[in-house]
Structure 1
Amino acid sequence: MRVVSLVPSLTEAVALTRPEVLVGATDWCTHPAGLSVARVGGSKYPDLDRVLALRPDLVLLNEEENRLADADALRAAGVPVQVTFPRTVPEALTQLGELLAAIGAPGEPDWLRAARQAWAGLPVPPAPRAAVVPVWRRPWVVLGRDTFAGDVLRRLGVSNQWADHAERYPRPSLDELRARAPDLVVLPDEPYRFTAEDGPEAFPGIPAALVSGRHLTWYGPSLAEAPALLAAQLAAAG
């Protein structure tokens, strides 16, 4: 079997489970370290000629990260695709299991079992802290409704103030974000790389949690360590 992944978290999942089938990945697929496969461009604009030249039996995509036009073009070329779109942690775990079965994994890998246990074993969170969760700046973009990252935070005791918005990624003004007087601002380091110097200063007087974007938004092997790591990063904000 020959697999091309256009989703960084799924690239990591395949590489740690059946590395021998992975023949291509995007330029943004950085895990596991030292991954040596053909590169096919970005997630949004992959080089489909390169993808097809690898003669894949299956291409992995995500409804949010990749474009429908590319999925349609691959199907038109006779290439099977598997599209994921988890909006909750349980959905992510289920879809990962389905994907691994599709690539011929002989059983559930240790990392997926560990991820299931890590999330099933979470303590009941304390009274939730109301938060805004920017994922971009200039313009400000925040988590809205039905997002995987929003569900991750909810399970860790963080209530997204924009979870009832009509859009999944609203673009409120900074004044609108401040006006909601959140208890916390959660600043991941991807897709926009928020740092201690770039982000917290926009929310004076509000605790800021700098968190790992990979552990907040990726669904794959990082899910096993995400609860403990993110909980520690959230707690560090006070």
Structure 2
Amino acid sequence: MTSPRKVRRVVSLVPSLTEAVAVGAPGLLVGATDWCVHPAGLDVVRIGGTKNPDVAAIAALRPDLVIANEEENRAPDLAALRAAGLDVMVTEVRSLDQAFAELERVLLAGCGLTAPPRWLDDARAAWAAPPSAPYPPRTAVVPVWRRPWMVLGSDTFAGDLLARLGVRNVYADHPERYPRVPVAELRASGADLVVLPDEPYRFTADDGPEAFPGLPAALVDGRFLTWYGPSLAGAPAALRAALRRAGPVPSPRRP
């Protein structure tokens, strides 16, 4: 049996993974992106954004490991980090099960933990509980950007979470993962709900629902819908609460 790898310095290019490592393996993080805002008060060197990391600054930190994601980070940046002689672990997260597997890989194989942290066990337990959708299954459009309108399409982590809570994404079978769809088409999609997260676009009660008159809107914390890390433990309850606040399925309109 091989002993855990000796990793003492980690740079994270993914907000979700930054929080996972900071909470699960305290003391290892030495660098993170400007968008890594959890946990609060994280005191590490900032190395730019997820799409424009400062390769020289990362190399100067002499990390034993750089953790990244195939969707969040650009292939040329990852290639440049490898060319600088750095060990880069790239994750892929497109479902809840994949998130759990990748979190365990990062923390155990990557960071050298000998067992999963408690919050990861708690997250698995929370999502293993029988679903309790607030109403009969919903059919939703899930915008993630405005100007132009973009929505969740196929093969997405957020779409998988919603499906587990009884929310069917209208565009779940779209050939693209994040298609651009005119708002008129979204309104005519047959959805009985619009789910509006506050990231990556910051939808609010005053910015988003007015584009879907007559359609209930669930305003959700994007961290619970799109982040894979410690927030997964509280995500089922938080998302169900947001769906309940949206209200019931609208009654069919009479001719």
For the aligned pair, the TM-score class normalised by the smaller chain equals over 0.9
- Count residues in correspondence: 238
| Larger gyration radius, structure 1 or structure 2 | 2
Alignment match, 1:144: 153
Give unpaired runs (5+ residues) of structure 1. Answer: none
Task: Using the TM superposition, give the Cα deviation of residue 108 of structure 1 relative to its aligned residue in structure 2, in angstroms.
Answer: 1.1
Alignment match, 1:49: 56
Alignment match, 1:35: 42
Alignment match, 1:134: 143
Alignment match, 1:219: 228
Determine helix, strand or coil for the equivalent of 2:24.
coil
Instruction: Report the Cα distance in structure 2 between the residues aligned to 1:122 and 1:75, rounded to whole angstroms.
Output: 43
Instruction: Report the Cα distance in structure 2 between the residues aligned to 1:129 and 1:219, rounded to whole angstroms.
Output: 23
Instruction: Report the Cα distance in structure 2 between the residues aligned to 1:85 and 1:159, rounded to whole angstroms.
Output: 23
* Structure 2 residue corresponding to 1:113, chosen from 112, 121, 128: 121
Give unpaired runs (5+ residues) of structure 2. Answer: 1-7, 248-255
Identity rate, percent: 66
Alignment match, 1:232: 241
* Structure 1 residue corresponding to 2:11, chosen from 4, 8, 23: 4
Alignment match, 2:25: 18
Task: Using the TM superposition, give the Cα deviation of residue 127 of structure 1 relative to its aligned residue in structure 2, in angstroms.
Answer: 3.9
Task: Using the TM superposition, give the Cα deviation of residue 86 of structure 1 relative to its aligned residue in structure 2, in angstroms.
Answer: 1.1
Instruction: Report the Cα distance in structure 2 between the residues aligned to 1:122 and 1:43, rounded to whole angstroms.
Output: 35
1:195 to 2:239 alignment: no
RMSD between superposed Cα atoms in Å:
1.0
Amino acid at match of 1:30: V
Amino acid at match of 1:120: A
Amino acid at match of 1:197: D
Alignment match, 1:71: 78
Alignment match, 2:131: 123
Alignment match, 2:112: 104
Determine helix, strand or coil for the equivalent of 1:19.
coil
**Residue-by-residue CA offset, 1:189-217 (whole Å, 9 max, x unaligned):** 01100000100000000000000101100
Q: Is the CA contact (8 Å cut-off) linking 2:17 and 2:228 kept in structure 1?
A: yes
Instruction: Report the Cα distance in structure 2 between the residues aligned to 1:91 and 1:17, rounded to whole angstroms.
Output: 18
Bigger shift: residues 63-72 or 125-134: 125-134
Amino acid at match of 1:141: M
Alignment match, 1:153: 162
Question: 5 Å matches for 1:168-183?
Answer: 168-183=177-192
Determine helix, strand or coil for the equivalent of 1:186.
strand
Determine helix, strand or coil for the equivalent of 1:83.
strand
TM-score with structure 1 setting the length: 0.98
**Residue-by-residue CA offset, 1:139-158 (whole Å, 9 max, x unaligned):** 00000000000000000110
Task: Using the TM superposition, give the Cα deviation of residue 18 of structure 1 relative to its aligned residue in structure 2, in angstroms.
Answer: 1.4
Amino acid at match of 1:72: A
* Structure 2 residue corresponding to 1:209, chosen from 208, 215, 218: 218
**Residue-by-residue CA offset, 1:14-48 (whole Å, 9 max, x unaligned):** 00111211100001100000000000000010111
Alignment match, 2:250: none
Task: Using the TM superposition, give the Cα deviation of residue 123 of structure 1 relative to its aligned residue in structure 2, in angstroms.
Answer: 2.3
Amino acid at match of 2:33: T
Amino acid at match of 1:150: G
TM-score with structure 2 setting the length: 0.91
